[in-house]
Chain A
Amino acid sequence: MATINLDQLTKSYGPDEVLHHISGDINDSEFVVIVGPSGCGKSTLLRMIAGLETVTSGEISIGGKIVNEIEPADRDIAMVFQNYALYPHMSVRENMAYGLKIRKTPKDEITRRVNEAADILEIREYLDRKPRQLSGGQRQRVAMGRAIVRDPQVFLFDEPLSNLDAKLRVQMRLEIRKLQKRLGVTSIYVTHDQVEAMTLGDRLMVLNAGYVEQFDTPIELYERPASMFVAGFIGSPAMNFLTATGGDGLVILDNGTALPTRLSTSGPVIAGIRPEHLIAEPEGVLPVRVEMLEQLGANTLVHGVLDGSDIPIVASVTGIQSLPVNDVVRFTPGPDALHLFDANTERRLS
């Protein structure tokens, strides 16, 4: 088990810098999820930690030792790839034993560990099959098995669930979580799925275009997003953003509505309100002209615009609601529901 420290990590491909001064400390046994939109550099960062990509500048340490120049084989890590990367010509058993054989583990020890891992992952009956004779979910388990038999210091996952169907994904997500807690191995998990990130991670590193936007617990990301990007990325449906002008203990929206806040600000600000924090009230301060309803069963999404403007607003109300389209419904933000961001830097004002 080990800590991982990233210090001012930068990666360039030729003249293009794709990762900019990434820093962060990952604790022993912690499960950290790197999350961000496609192309933001998640895989690149993970592959640098694995040793599959060179480091342009900065330092990576695993267990307190700088590993920049150390081969992947000698970093004591295991990685689960998006396409599983199983060895197609080897049986499941051979796939799992491969790394142990190379490390000259005694034969009976290999057998014991492979069987143990197979039991944990419930793939005992497939041990003699070739990867092509397995379903996607079974292959995924084998890839996991290959990682856990090695008993490494660090697990690295690069979108291991993205090739599975939605139901299996939820199931495997829980299993990965349980397994990681049980084994206590420091893990880094890459995904672009924010639900996966929120449910799996002890902490989330939100990446955007090669920058770390925020590195914190899921609850903190949800309650106190550090930037408009994080606020918009975490939570579904995404947060509503309204341009406003700061004032003393209130902000004034462009349509003249004043919303109370504990902060005193001035100049142009962006007010963010999550859809689920908008409460429908007859005397609510936000008049919303309904354009469309999305019935999800447990709740209803109300899509509309702020009356008298074309600023889109989404509200999530519980239960099945049928509101007439084109009617005006009034909403009020719940207590502490208002997030304020600087209109220029897009960073949180707190």
Chain B
Amino acid sequence: MLKRVHFPTSVLPYLLVAPQILVTLIFFIWPASQAMYQSMRIEDAFGLSTEFVWFENFQILAEDKQYFETFWRTIIFSACVAFISMSVALFLAGFADRVVRGAMAYRTMLIWPYAVAPVLAGALWVFMFNPTLGIFPYLLEFVGYDWNHYLNGHQAMLLVILAAAWKQVAYNFLFYLAAMQSIPKSVIEASAIDGAGPVRRFRTIILPLVSPTTFFLLVINAVYAFFDTFGIIHAVTQGGPAGATTILVYKVYNDGFVGLDLGGSAAQSVILMILVISMTVIQFRYVEKKVDY
């Protein structure tokens, strides 16, 4: 005989989950559905009337050369940010892992940048690289290099990449350090006895053994570069000069709030939403499984 347990119906469980559901509804579901609804409407130039147009906004985007340029730029930007911040973090973690004396002090200092708000981080870099006031343009002048990221699009791109990567180094560093410290010390010692020098040990033992972390961070950094760098770009270049540092999220803001093309902007944010959902799926599907070694 199957035994069934009956609980008396009560409102308590519903009450307990209500706040979470409310937050999700107000801050996630509602704006998302608004964006989706908005993405299918076009407003006239004076904002007096709107028209429901199904997928016309998306069609316009698909034919927009500028949008594809932005897409491509975002991919380059993200790849550079992920590569720079991860390799710097790996390098630093490799050394911090070997430090014996004062290890805590180093680690604390390396983790600090993570606590800095994106806009403040941006402001910091703006000051350091200000063509007239900044210390770096001043120093670069000595080697005969003219720095002005207000005019030069490549320099502007380089600057936002550096600022965004710098901010993410701390996060990557933490994960790499933890991964390295979970490698048994005797494995490293065994390879030292086998004749491997520090560089070779790093390349043949440590690097392969932290590869699950590398894969995890790759996804995290891509998501970060795609979506969380708005504050830095807004503070450093405002997407300029001439759109040279406008990445997808920045274009959403720019087209919507500056250009007031609400429909087009909403369509872009729907595309971004699909992107972030698919990245999250990748992360859950593959990262949770350990990389096989």
Contact = CB atoms under 8 A, between A and B. Distances in A.
Interface of A: 50-52, 71-73, 77-79, 81-83, 85-89, 98-99, 102-103, 130, 146, 150
B195 A89 contact: no
A85 B192 contact: no
B189 A99 contact: no
B184 A83 contact: yes
B293 interface: yes
Contacts of B194: 73, 98-99, 102, 146, 150
Given A79-B190, A81-B186, A83-B184, A89 B197 contact: no
A71 B191 CA distance: 12
Contacts of B197: 73
Contacts of B293: 88-89, 130
A78 B195 contact: no
Contact of B191 (A50, A51, A83, A98): A98
Given A73-B196, A83-B184, A89 B190 contact: no
B191 A87 contact: yes
Contact of B193 (A77, A87, A89): A77
Contact of A73 (B192, B208, B209): B192
B200 A85 contact: no
Listed from nearest, the 8 A-B pairs whose CB atoms lie closest are: A99-B194, A89-B293, A85-B186, A85-B190, A73-B195, A102-B195, A81-B186, A89-B208
Prevailing SS type, chain B contact patch: helix
B196 A52 contact: no
Interface in B160-217: 184, 186-187, 189-197, 200, 204-205, 208-209
B196 A87 contact: no
A37 to B, nearest CB: 22
Contacts of A150: 194
B196 A85 contact: no
A10 to B, nearest CB: 20
Given A88-B293, A89-B208, A102-B200, A83 B186 contact: yes
Nearest to B205: A87
Contacts of B192: 52, 71-73
Nearest to A73: B195
Contact of A88 (B189, B193, B209): B209
B193 A72 contact: yes
B189 A52 contact: yes
A99 B200 CA distance: 12
A50 B193 contact: yes
A81 B193 CA distance: 11
Interface of B: 184, 186-187, 189-197, 200, 204-205, 208-209, 293
A88 B293 CA distance: 7
B193 A78 contact: yes
Most chain-A Cβ atoms within 10 A of its Cβ — which of B184, B186, B208? B186
A130 B205 CA distance: 15
Nearest to B207: A89
A79 B194 CA distance: 9
A182 B190 CA distance: 24
B196 A102 contact: yes
Contact of A103 (B184, B187, B195): B195
A51 B190 CA distance: 11
B195 A85 contact: no
Contacts of A73: 192-197
B184 to A, nearest CB: 6
Contacts of B191: 87, 98
10 contacts: A50-B189, A73-B193, A85-B190, A87-B190, A87-B191, A88-B293, A98-B191, A98-B194, A99-B194, A103-B195
A331 B145 CA distance: 99
Given A87-B205, A88-B209, A99 B195 contact: yes
Contacts of A78: 193
A86 B200 CA distance: 17
Contact of B184 (A50, A77, A85): A85
Contacts of B184: 83, 85
Most buried by A among B190, B193, B197, B209: B193
Contacts of A86: 187, 190
A81 B190 contact: yes
Contacts of A87: 187, 190-191, 205
Contacts of B190: 79, 81, 85-87, 146
A130 B208 CA distance: 14
A52 B190 CA distance: 10
Given A72-B192, A86-B190, A98-B204, 8 more contacts: A50-B193, A73-B195, A73-B197, A87-B190, A89-B208, A99-B194, A102-B200, A150-B194
